[in-house]
């Protein structure tokens, strides 16, 4: 195995240092990107919790609308009965 020797008779480790620096830089960039993604995911999760809470409030406030059809049918029946009674009374 051949080792490159510098002027002082020691092996040249410049390539290793450059590789280490590039590796650390890549890891740092990846950590920053993952951190940003986790922060955004946390923010989105908070917005989803708020939205779900508001949807629950909306659901409870609009549950009575489901009964509107039945109330409408009951009122039609009462109106039909009132018309029949009025006709029976000669009106």
Q: Is the pTM of this model over 0.95?
A: no
The reported pLDDT for the residue numbered 1 is: 46
The reported pLDDT for the residue numbered 4 is: 55
DSSP string, the chain: ----B-TTSSB--HHHHHHHHHHHHHHHHHHHHHHHHHHHHHHHHHHHHHHHHHHHHHHHHHGGGGGHHHHHHHHHHHHHHHHHHHHHTT-
What are the average pLDDT values for consecutive 10-residue runs of the chain, which has 91 residues?
Answer: 55 81 97 98 96 92 83 91 88 64
The reported pLDDT for the residue numbered 14 is: 77
**Domain range list for the chain:** 14-88
The reported pLDDT for the residue numbered 83 is: 92
φ and ψ at residue 11, rounded to 5 degrees: -65, 145
């Amino acid at each position: 195995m051949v080792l490159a020797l510098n002027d002082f008779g020691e092996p040249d480790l410049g390539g290793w240092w450059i590789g280490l620096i590039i590796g650390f830089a890549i890891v740092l960039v990846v950590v920053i990107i993952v951190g940003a993604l986790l922060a955004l995911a946390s923010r989105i999760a908070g917005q989803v919790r708020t939205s779900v809470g508001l949807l629950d409030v909306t659901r409870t406030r609009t549950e009575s609308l489901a009964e509107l059809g039945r109330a409408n049918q009951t009122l039609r029946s009462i109106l039909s009965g009132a018309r029949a009674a009025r006709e029976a009374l000669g009106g």
